[in-house]
Amino acid sequence: MKIKYLILAAIAGAIITADQATKMWIHTHLQEGDVIQVISNLFNITHVHNMGAAFGFLADSHPEFRTAFFFAMPPIALIIILAILRGVRDSDRWTIAALSGVFGGAIGNYIDRLRYGYVIDFLDFTIVYNASSNPPGRFVYPSFNVADIAIVCGVAILLFLEFTRSRSEEPDTAIV
């Protein structure tokens, strides 16, 4: 077996394990909407049921469309990732790791959709500013989970690699 598939299995497996373990703890210890304050005016653990995609995208769409979309898209994305990975050199470890992160994150969230019909999110950042005003100003970042972190980091790495590769491969256009 090629090393890149072993790397995929190891990284994706670790992400899925961490993601599902944290979500199971949230699911068994908190009711939806419960909040544990970790850092005042900054970070909470909050049990959220996300019916949509990242940042609640499509959460308000028609339920039948949303269900069909979220059950069909992850397997398609996983097949695309495997097809891309097939063309990646074994020595290109950053690309392999990034694709593995997206792969593991997609599976972690897909497990939730199959099990519950929604994704469990729980990492909740709320920045309170102008605390002395009434009411205080508040920036609330959408709740997320371990799988989301893996997906975002994987995509960010892929974008960075693509940008740096395309910049380094540009032909020299200097006029001699």
* Active site residues per annotation: 121, 148
Strands (E), the chain: 35-39, 43-50, 119-129, 137-140
Alpha carbons within 13 angstroms on the beta-carbon side of residue 6 total: 4
CA distances from 133 to 35, 92, 128, 129, 130 (A): 24, 52, 11, 9, 6
Number of residues in the chain? 176
CA-to-CA distance for 71 and 10, rounded, in angstroms?
Answer: 25
Strands 43-50 and 119-129, by their bridges, are antiparallel
